[in-house]
Amino acid sequence: MHLLRYISVLLLCLCCFASGALAQQRKVQHKPFIDERHFHYGFTFGLHDQGLSLENNGYVDPETGAQWLAENDRPGVGFSVGVLGEWKLNQYFALRLIPSLHFGSKHIEFRNLQNGETVSQDLKSSYIALPFDIKAAAPRFNNYRPYVLAGIQPMLDLTSATQGRIRTQPMNFMVEVGMGCDLYLPFFKLIPELKFCFGLGNVLDKKRTDLNDPTKKIFTQSLNGASVSMVVLSFYFE
């Protein structure tokens, strides 16, 4: 539901932008030769919403009869920073490498279906990410140039070992798609971008040898798997 909302808002904004751009007359171009360089670099910061899709299995504790249901019940807004390296392939295509850090958390609520009891956990994450994307850009019009991108993103969670009731594995791979627009300003290029990232595998750590208390193990036993997703709003500066 959240994803559809983001996409709808984004498409509406792009339609409004396209209508306005087509109605404009030619203007003086800022930074007219910046796209002639074969290599671009810059830095980025932004916000993201990270989520965890949980697969419950209906496990019932044979001793107590407790059955726990887990869900990621609220958005997990965090912030992101990184550096950008872009290699121009031709007039329309480029390869991008963006080493990044993502800091945030995912709030998980567990509900006992037997008596209604609830407990919660904040799954804090500090990701080192290395997105590798291919970018396809439209021709420049005045001081605007929209583009789309797709790629893959390996991620390493530095804080997974400190998580509690459930724990995620540190390594994960994600596919990502997104769109943005190059804005050519008088002294630099600003690039707002919206990107959707989807985890490829199960990140739930089922081997909880660190837990000896059965009342804590049951939360992991109640799940078959988990997958990470992110929506990232970034601002690049070149």
More confident residue, 88 or 19: 88
Confidence of residue 23 (pLDDT cuts 50, 70, 90): very low
pLDDT at 161: 66
pLDDT at 14: 54
Rounded to the nearest 5°, which phi and psi values hold at 14? -65, -40
pLDDT at 40: 86
Residues 69, 91: Cα–Cα separation, whole Å: 52
**Digit-coded pLDDT (tens) for 194-238:** 999 999 989 988 887 777 777 778 888 888 899 999 999 999 998
Judge whether 78 and 47 are in contact, CB under 8 Å.
yes
Q: Is the pLDDT of residue 122 over 90?
A: no
Residues 104, 80: Cα–Cα separation, whole Å: 9
Q: Of 2.60.260.20, 1.25.40.10, 2.40.160.20, 3.60.9.10, which CATH number belongs to 39-237? A: 2.40.160.20
Name the residue ranges covered by the structural domains of the chain. Answer: 39-237
Minimum mean pLDDT among 73-87, 176-190, 213-227: which range? Answer: 213-227
Mean pLDDT on 115-126: 87
Sequence-separated (6 or more) residues with CB below 8 Å from residue 91: 139
**Digit-coded pLDDT (tens) for 26-48:** 677 777 777 778 898 899 999 99
Residues 112, 105: Cα–Cα separation, whole Å: 23
pLDDT at 181: 94
Mean pLDDT on 89-109: 92
Mean pLDDT on 45-59: 90
